[in-house]
Structure 1
Amino acid sequence: MTSTPQERLRLVGREEATPAAMSWVMSLDDSDSPRDIIDALGLAPFVSGEHPHALSAELERVKPDAALCPEDARILRTSDDESTKTVLAAGEGWMLRVLRRTNGTAMLHVSAVTEELARTVIEVCSKDATVAEEADDTQVSMGFWHSGAHGFSRRERTIGAATWPEIEQNYSGDISAALGRLMALRAEDVSGRLLLLHGPPGTGKTSALRALAREWAQWCQVDCVLDPEVLFSNPGYLMEVAIGVDTYDDSKRKWRLLVLEDCDELIRGSAKESTGQGLSRLLNLTDGMLGQGRDVLVAITTNENLSRLHPAVVRPGRCLAQLEVGRLSPAEATAWLDRELGDRPKPAVEAGGMTLAELIEARDHPTRIQAAPADTTAVGSYL
């Protein structure tokens, strides 16, 4: 019989063995993938109560030949697509789902009859599965949060970042001095929880934040939220990010800096009307009930002028730093070009000065591929 897209396959399971058992229903249609089926089957023992304990672990820099599965496991299902390979395996008293990505990361989900057994399976799968990170003073670890079809997730990546002394001359005198004081802060110096970097595009706001991640690396983990509009519209996502990634060792626990780039609509004067609860949730994260007990800072970059920011955002006591990053003055831009270009030809500096992006373009002379539409106003041209 040919099925239509509206028809769904329903698999119903029920466990009566324990008082805590739950019935469950898995509905499938042609929009579901093999991975979705593996996810559902992997949850079944936990939902039914057969395996009342579940643990997860995220692995970075996974070796290509790592098994990520105990030797005595029974492989129940596998799924392989362009970006992920998923395996469902089982053993005596446990079930394991392995999600392995082509970018070298993996996620392990284990359910088991005891928490100790679940931890043992995680340890066996993780042992010698990853490559130790090579020390590189030019790199810094940064987390990236995003929401997707399978919930909210955080990925950790190593990015290049200059030290502050290497880039401090990319900023005008006053802002350079203020950024220098910010770079020198340590955990015990934190007062407000909000960092605002506002100014025209191309003035170096993101470069400053990368340098900040490197200068604060010993005491603060920097995480970038890729979809801030979703973050503040979804309480579950916000709670997940606010709680963060904890460690049971207090000596290793760090502050966290959440970076939200280009959030003009969230903090401008009309934010209440345009984003609903977004602004309120942001403020709650920085100094409200949600932020209590969490060592969380929030950095926001925006192109908005200071006068257009919502007064609740810039009120005294809320901001750790409020920095307006602007163009370099003609004298500063000329000095920058003299330093970077030496005896090579230099572009003329206009009265309004230059942005950092314009200066770097003048220094590096990139080959820009350009095209313009043909003039269609001539008589006889086609419409």
Structure 2
Amino acid sequence: MSVIKEVHFTSEPRPDELPMNIWLDDGDSAVDVIDALALSPFATGSQPWSRTATLERVRPDASLIPATGQVVRVAAEDGREARLVCGEGWTLRVIRYRNRAATVIVTAVDEELARSVIEEVTKDVEEPAPENDHVEMGFWWYGAHGSRRSEKPITASPWREVSGNYAAALESPLTRLMSITPADVHGRLILLHGPPGTGKTTLLRTLAHEWRSWCQVDCVLDPELLFGSPGYLMEVAVGTDDDDKKWRLLVLEDCDELIRAGAKETTGQGLSRLLNLTDGLLGQGRDVLVAITTNEDLARLHPAVVRPGRCLAQIEVGRLPYDEAARWLGTSEGVSPSGATLAELFALREGVVGLTTATENTGLYL
């Protein structure tokens, strides 16, 4: 049975303020209390100005607290810490995440004070993005507090450096894919299919590097939720008018259930929403591409997914043939007559013995 507590502010509101009650039950956490307390001055009107900043790669030694602020509440849960900080005429809520991202919200009695507090809090607190072999990639997931996106630098090599990791027969189609520009986009779906460990994920990281000047790459960590929730899908795929005007590539890894034959019966509207995103009204509203990796054989995929005109690229990423695998490794020792996956070759190079074969289908993702 829920225990309901009503918390009343004891001070009488001024004529231009609104009354404020906070209702709590056993489903609320300490962080929820901090959220409510942080917003109450704005809700009542005593601090009618608000500013928000989202930070990535916050330095570990950055306090995110103004010099004149006093910490009045602290709560930690589920990989995040919340702090409530008060000062003369302002209130600050700071949420820091385990991945070093942070969100700060300040309310104040006037606009200038709100701006000055948030500028003090956020000045020089982020580390610069790594250079050279890194690109920025976004990661979407849906949690207890709705959808969230975190942007992180990932290692990504240029195509010229990794092209030798793939079969010679793939050089031409993969080079064409890497060199695509917005003017070349015909079809919104990129389909990479093949056994585990053949380098499909590596290709996507390389694609993010090669397209970095015109396309932002976002990886959706929960594609089954994305296509099961229209609201989540709209936020991820459509965004807002304030978003960067770059094209966006949504990466959906290993979502076999969504695109295999019979998906309509097993995933409900998920397949229909995917098709609408790549070749329907939703997809035409924004410059959005979708990249899907799957271990399924092409013949087992839903015909609507692979129909002509829908795919910008449809590439089977397979094992390196025996001769090419031996040349990559520098020796034929340990190489199966049927060839080897990229994961198997890296393992052989590191001296790992007793490799799991690709037919067992237990992993070795790259």
Decide: shared fold, TM above 0.5.
Answer: yes
TM-score, normalising length: structure 1: 0.82
| Secondary structure, counterpart of 1:103 in structure 2 | coil
Q: Distance in 2 between matches of 1:222 and 1:76?
A: 39
Q: Distance in 2 between matches of 1:89 and 1:113?
A: 15
Structure 1 pair 267/111, CA: closer, same or farther in 2 (3 Å)? farther
- What does 1:225-244 align with in structure 2 at a 5 Å threshold? 225-244=220-239
Q: Which residue of 1 aligns with 2:297?
A: 305
Q: Which residue of 2 aligns with 1:38?
A: 34
* 2:25 equivalent to 1:10: no
* 2:209 equivalent to 1:217: no
Residue 211 of structure 1, CA deviation:
1.0
Aligned length: 355
Q: Which residue of 2 aligns with 1:85?
A: 81
* 2:91 equivalent to 1:104: no
TM-score, normalising length: structure 2: 0.85
Q: Distance in 2 between matches of 1:218 and 1:124?
A: 32
Q: Distance in 1 between matches of 2:258 and 2:46?
A: 46
Q: Which residue of 1 aligns with 2:117?
A: 121
Q: Distance in 1 between matches of 2:220 and 2:25?
A: 32
Residue 227 of structure 1, CA deviation:
0.9
CA-to-partner distance for each residue in 1:31-60, whole Å, 9 max, x for gaps?
Answer: 533212111222334444555554432212
* 2:181 equivalent to 1:195: no
Structure 1 pair 274/17, CA: closer, same or farther in 2 (3 Å)? farther
Residue 354 of structure 1, CA deviation:
2.0
Q: Which residue of 2 aligns with 1:359?
A: 345
Residue 176 of structure 1, CA deviation:
2.5
| Secondary structure, counterpart of 2:58 in structure 1 | coil
Structure 1 pair 134/170, CA: closer, same or farther in 2 (3 Å)? closer
Higher mean C-alpha displacement, 149-158 vs 257-266 = 149-158
Identity across aligned pairs (percent)? 55
CA-to-partner distance for each residue in 1:234-264, whole Å, 9 max, x for gaps?
Answer: 222212212448757xxx6322111100011
Residue 311 of structure 1, CA deviation:
2.2
Q: Distance in 1 between matches of 2:282 and 2:109?
A: 34
- Aligned partner of 2:64 among 60, 64, 68: 68
Structure 1 pair 104/317, CA: closer, same or farther in 2 (3 Å)? same
CA-to-partner distance for each residue in 1:287-313, whole Å, 9 max, x for gaps?
Answer: 333333422211110112212222222
- Aligned partner of 2:151 among 156, 171, 175: 156
- Aligned partner of 2:308 among 308, 316, 328: 316
Structure 1 pair 115/295, CA: closer, same or farther in 2 (3 Å)? farther
| Secondary structure, counterpart of 2:59 in structure 1 | coil
Q: Over the residues paired in the alignment, what is the CA RMSD in angstroms?
A: 3.0
Higher mean C-alpha displacement, 312-321 vs 274-283 = 312-321
| Secondary structure, counterpart of 2:62 in structure 1 | coil
User: What are structure 1's unaligned runs of at least 5 residues?
Assistant: 371-383
Structure 1 pair 50/276, CA: closer, same or farther in 2 (3 Å)? farther
| Secondary structure, counterpart of 1:291 in structure 2 | helix
Q: Distance in 2 between matches of 1:366 and 1:142?
A: 31
User: What are structure 2's unaligned runs of at least 5 residues?
Assistant: 357-366
CA-to-partner distance for each residue in 1:105-143, whole Å, 9 max, x for gaps?
Answer: 2111234566665444332321122222342x1122211
* 2:276 equivalent to 1:284: yes
Higher mean C-alpha displacement, 33-42 vs 176-185 = 33-42
| Secondary structure, counterpart of 2:175 in structure 1 | helix
Q: Which residue of 2 aligns with 1:185?
A: 180
Q: Distance in 1 between matches of 2:13 and 2:215?
A: 49
One-letter amino acid matched to 2:304: A
* 2:14 equivalent to 1:27: no
Higher mean C-alpha displacement, 9-18 vs 203-212 = 9-18
